[in-house]
């Protein structure tokens, strides 16, 4: 039960109003450690059941989509319904490889952290379809304002994994010169905006970037990603307000992976209405999508991107998924949720589902999949050796400490020249 009986509306109404003691609801997840997993409250639509509106549909005519769940893949791996995208097998196979590469990369970096080779790491396990399918649906020139769990976007865009490892290890390969904690990547070349550790700030920045693109008569759009917990930040409200007011060409993604560290999505208000429904009040179209369904994520993102490119403005997408591992290397999820919750997620695993679909399509087989798994594992292992030869965190193989005094401003700062000398570099 989500509500305590004392809060039941009828019960409260039956009491004499004057004397009724006021009560406060503190939301609780359905199940805590040791309790049986219970996903009966999830709002799930059947695969293929949700309509696909026209690209120029009035937001007010599609409010229902904020409460439904766009799904394309059915339980047998077939693509069904109006959201089946036009997508080549090559794109699907490339997406599958991105997801597998991301998962292997995450596992290697997680283990590297446990071995003391980096200070911190964040895995995206179980959510790989979000980054892989959305990167595939966007143009390489579109600007991405990711979160700390958006590593799949960079991998999909072909950013060298050895540089990502260099960043995670803060070693000689680190493009960010050891200035950022692990996973806060940045690559202008790959149109990937510098990641912030402060939650949500990138959401309104993406809107501003998109406004700049539109003011300049450019054709590029922006996209940004935050989690369910971050929807409570003011930046979320700023972003949706500005995106709506100026009809900015931007896609605002909320990755609802059910957990914000130890706080379930109800603490951010997700029990009362889906996060997608928040867009309704801003007059923005909202799509709620099965985030573990590569085809659905791809189709919804294409719809939003084409809409933005046609000057119909911003779309909010809620990507409904499950954070299969810990928030980061700094928390133990068995302390706050049932250990088997992830394995019982009713929308499955994104890699397994795309694999199944490709097999149904006649493009894939268990053997090929096993071979690809072996290939990406070997690839990441080789890159890791190459990266570690250039240092790991704490072994003093870093850029010169001299560099830490550079680049606060474009021009050299006389204060910092003095301080650098004082520090002896």
Partner 1 sequence: MATMNMIQAINSAMVTMMTRDPQVVVFGEDVGYFGGVFRATDGLQKKFGKHRCFDTPIAEGGIVGAAIGMGAYGMRPVVEIQFADYIYPAFDQLTSEAARIRYRSAGDFSVPMVVRTPYGGGIFGGQTHSQSPEGLFTHVVGLKVVIPSTPYDAKGLLISSIEDDDPVIFLEPKRLYTGPFDGRHDVAVKPWSAHPAAEVPEDYYRVPLGQASIVRPGEDVTILAYGTMVHVALAAAAESGVDAEVIDLRSLIPLDVETIMTSVHKTGRCIVVHEATKTSGFGAELAALVQRECFYQLEAPVERVTGWDIPYPHAFEWQYFPGPARVAAAMRQAMEA
Judge whether 155 and 179 are in contact, CB under 8 Å: no
Nearer to partner 1, 93 or 177 (CB): 177
Contact set for partner 1, span 160-179 (CB under 8 A): 175-177, 179
Q: Which of 245, 370, 371, 389 binds partner 1 (CB under 8 A)?
A: 245
CA angle 290, 239, 132 (to 5 degrees): 35
Contact set for partner 1, span 129-148 (CB under 8 A): 143, 145
Quickly count: other Cβ atoms within 10 Å of residue 402's Cβ. 11
Question: CB of residue 124 vs partner 1: minimum separation in angstroms?
Answer: 21
Which residue is it, tokens 């072909």? Answer: 158
End-to-end CA gap in the chain:
61
Nearer to partner 1, 96 or 184 (CB): 184
From residue 256 to residue 295, the character string flagging contacts with partner 1 as x (rule: CB under 8 A) and all else as - is ----------------------------------------
Burial string for 125-158 (b: 16+ CB within 10 Å, else e) reads bbbbbbbbbbbbbbeeebbbbbbbbbbbbbbbbe
Q: Would you list the DSSP string of 334-374? A: GGTS-TTTGGG-TT--HHHHHHHHHHHTTS--HHHHHHHHH
Question: CB of residue 96 vs partner 1: minimum separation in angstroms?
Answer: 30
Question: CB of residue 248 vs partner 1: minimum separation in angstroms?
Answer: 9
Judge whether 269 and 237 are in contact, CB under 8 Å: no
Rounded distance between C-alpha atoms, residue 290 and residue 320, angstroms: 5
From residue 188 to residue 217, the character string flagging contacts with partner 1 as x (rule: CB under 8 A) and all else as - is x----xx-x-x--x-xxxxxxxxxxx-xx-
Nearer to partner 1, 120 or 238 (CB): 238
Counting Cβ atoms within 10 Å, is residue 54 exposed (0-12), middle (13-18) or buried (19+)? exposed
Question: Is residue 241 close enough to count as binding partner 1 by CB under 8 A?
Answer: yes
Rounded distance between C-alpha atoms, residue 153 and residue 139, angstroms: 12
Question: Is residue 234 close enough to count as binding partner 1 by CB under 8 A?
Answer: yes
What are residue 315's DSSP bridge partners?
Answer: 251
Question: Is residue 226 close enough to count as binding partner 1 by CB under 8 A?
Answer: no
Question: Is residue 239 close enough to count as binding partner 1 by CB under 8 A?
Answer: yes
Candidates 24-32, 52-60, 154-162, 236-244; binding stretch for partner 1 (CB under 8 A)? 236-244
Candidates 65-73, 185-193, 254-262, 378-386; binding stretch for partner 1 (CB under 8 A)? 185-193
What are residue 320's DSSP bridge partners?
Answer: 256, 290
Question: Is residue 409 close enough to count as binding partner 1 by CB under 8 A?
Answer: yes
Rounded distance between C-alpha atoms, residue 180 and residue 393, angstroms: 12
Nearer to partner 1, 157 or 357 (CB): 157
Q: By CB under 8 A, name the binding residues for partner 1.
A: 143, 145, 175-177, 179-180, 184, 186-188, 193-194, 196, 198, 201, 203-213, 215-216, 222, 234-235, 237-239, 241-242, 245, 407-410, 413-414
């Amino acid at each position: 039960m989500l509500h305590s009986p004392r809060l039941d509306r009828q019960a409260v109404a039956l009491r004499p109003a004057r004397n009724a003691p006021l009560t406060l609801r503190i939301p609780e997840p359905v199940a805590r450690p040791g309790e049986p997993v219970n996903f009966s409250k999830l709002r799930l639509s059947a695969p293929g059941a949700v309509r696909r509106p026209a690209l120029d549909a009035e937001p007010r005519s599609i409010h229902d989509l904020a409460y439904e769940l766009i799904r394309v893949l059915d339980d047998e791996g077939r693509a069904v319904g109006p959201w089946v995208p036009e997508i080549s097998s090559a794109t699907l196979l490339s997406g599958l490889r991105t997801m597998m590469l991301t998962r292997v990369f995450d596992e290697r970096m997680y283990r590297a952290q446990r071995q003391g080779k980096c200070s911190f790491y964040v895995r995206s396990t179980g959510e790989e379809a979000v980054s892989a399918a959305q990167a595939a649906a966007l143009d390489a020139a579109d600007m991405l304002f990711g979160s700390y769990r958006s590593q799949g976007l960079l991998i999909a865009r072909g950013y060298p994994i050895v540089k990502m490892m260099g960043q995670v290890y803060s070693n000689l390969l680190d493009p960010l010169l050891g200035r950022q904690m692990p996973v806060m990547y940045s690559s202008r070349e790959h149109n990937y905006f510098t990641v912030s550790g402060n939650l949500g700030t990138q959401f309104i920045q993406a809107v501003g970037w998109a406004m700049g693109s539109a003011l300049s008569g450019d054709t590029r759009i922006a996209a940004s990603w935050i989690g369910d917990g971050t929807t409570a930040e003011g930046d979320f409200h700023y972003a949706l307000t500005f995106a709506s007011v100026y009809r900015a060409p931007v896609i605002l993604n909320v990755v609802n992976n059910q957990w914000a560290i130890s706080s379930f999505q109800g603490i951010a208000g997700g029990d009362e209405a889906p996060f997608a429904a928040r867009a309704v009040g801003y007059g923005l179209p909202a799509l709620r999508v099965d985030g573990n369904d590569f085809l659905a994520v791809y189709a919804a993102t294409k719809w939003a991107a084409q809409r933005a490119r046609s000057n119909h403005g911003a779309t909010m997408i809620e990507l409904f998924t499950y954070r299969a591992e810990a928030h980061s290397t700094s928390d133990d999820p068995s302390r706050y949720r049932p250990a088997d919750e992830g394995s019982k997620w009713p929308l499955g695993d994104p890699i397994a589902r795309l694999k199944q679909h490709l097999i149904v399509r006649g493009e894939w087989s268990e053997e090929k999949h096993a071979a690809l798994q072996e290939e990406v594992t070997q690839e990441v292992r080789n890159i890791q050796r190459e990266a570690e030869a250039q240092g790991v965190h704490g072994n003093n193989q870093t850029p010169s400490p001299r560099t830490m005094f550079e680049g606060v401003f474009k021009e050299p700062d006389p204060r910092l020249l003095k301080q650098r000398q004082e520090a002896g570099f």
